[in-house]
Amino acid sequence: MINKIITIFLIFGINFHISAQTMHAIIVSNTEDANIGKSCEMDQMMMIAEMNTIAKAIRYEISLKIISSGSFNFENLEQFIKELKANENDIIFFYYTGHGFNKKNYNDKYPIMDFNTVKYPLFMMHKKLKKKGARLCITMGDCCNNIIDKAKEVNKNLLVVEENKDKKNKIYKNLFLKPKGDIIVSSSKRGEYSYVHEKKGSYFTDEFRKALVYAVNYSNSLSWENLLIDTRNRVIRINQNKVQTLQFDLNLVSKPHPPIPNEPKYTDINKYLNDLSDNNISESERILLLDNYYKYFKKNARVDIFVGKIMTDMKTVEDFLDRIFLHADKIKSINLIENKSKISSDGKKYQQIAVQEIW
């Protein structure tokens, strides 16, 4: 059982021309640890794949550095960072998975990475990387942040989605090339735990990846706010009765594609559908949700139901909501397919939705 907390720092630069830029991906993982080594190995595999996907989507070259197994020590990392050179339009993506901790007399909410003989604060690493002058600097730490306790092990479910290459590349570019400002994220509030499974990796890393993959294939547009809200909702659902609350602060100079006033957000719809089909929420609470469906949907709105790429059924929204309410003990998750859904002409409710069910 391992308590873990994820921290993401994002500092966006000013210029975003795309000519011969490099994404410097640095993955540091404690894969040989007796307790969390297998989990770290899974995290490492997921992040290598995701970084390659991002670089390809935004047409950046990728420079991948992996510090793990026998090379896992602070001296190797420090030497690599010292020699790292980045241009003003490059991206630096640092990812750490391993042990971490915090101290009562350490006045920072972000964790301290544990390199066995050396203990180094994640925020100090972030400050080092920012000085390299890249346009976008991402520092992500997947490690314990609790002061006294041990973390717990839980299970996870995987998400399978339909690929949409053109939409995917466009949204990756909107997410990584256009925003200006900074974002700070941690997977748990101070005093809370985050959870991992030794064979499937940490919940936050996995659910962040799922939310990102889902959004780039199924959403019409993607903002950091929507991505992080969806990740938070997914982590809360998967942890069931365990308290783990993602927190973040956005400080963006401009937000592309401002939403239409009162337009329903896909994050709200996803949360509504998954709460309605969550057997861990009391029946009385779910009945109240069922009665309030009109806040999001037109009467007799059409619901197209997909399993993977295949549309398997079509129902009215009333019949569909009744069905997922009754089968809450069998449904694992539901995803709104935003780019196959339609909002009414007044921009306030859905008149047709497409959903992906995972049983």
pLDDT tens digits, 14-63: 444 445 799 999 999 999 888 888 888 998 999 999 999 999 999 999 99
Are 195 and 239 within 8 A, CB to CB?
yes
The predicted-structure confidence for 207-227, as pLDDT tens digits, reads as follows 888 888 888 877 777 788 888
CB 204 within 8 A of CB 142: yes
| Of 276 and 258, the one with more pLDDT | 276
pLDDT band at 83 (very low <50, low <70, confident <90, very high): very high
What's residue 107's pLDDT?
75
| Percentage of the residues of the chain whose pLDDT score is greater than 90 | 17
Delimit the CATH 3.40.50.1460 region(s) of the chain.
5-252
Buried/exposed code over 225-249 (b: 16+ C-beta within 10 A; e: otherwise): bbbbbbbbbbbbbbbeeeebebebe
DSSP strands (E only) in 231-295: 247-252
3 state SS of 138:
strand
Q: Which letter does DSSP use for residue 262 in this model?
A: T
pLDDT tens per residue, range 142-190? 887 777 533 333 333 333 344 556 667 778 888 888 776 677 777 777 7
Q: Which CATH architecture has domain 5-252?
A: 3-Layer(aba) Sandwich (3.40)
